[in-house]
Amino acid sequence: MRVGVEEDRCCGSGQCVLLAPEVFDQREDDGTVVLLDAAPPEALHGDVRDSAAVCPGAAIRVEEA
């Protein structure tokens, strides 16, 4: 799995951080998503998929290997 984010689409809701804190964080100044791990371990794949699914700005891209 490869993960990407489009910062300009992020609205700062933080759902991704709540679901997958090992993969996503937020900038303190504006809440924009920060990608911590573009190739997360398999154990986190479900959380990453869930994060992408609930992202209100559709800012998370998931590419399955």
Question: In the numeric block, which tokens belong to residue 1?
Answer: 């799995």
CA distance 41 to 29: 29
Looking at residue 48, what is its pLDDT? 98
Looking at residue 17, what is its pLDDT? 98
Looking at residue 18, what is its pLDDT? 98
Distances from the Cα of 59 to the Cα of 19, 21, angstroms: 15, 16
Q: Tens place of pLDDT for every residue, the chain, 65 residues? A: 999 999 999 999 999 999 999 999 999 999 999 999 999 999 999 999 999 999 999 999 999 98
Looking at residue 65, what is its pLDDT? 80
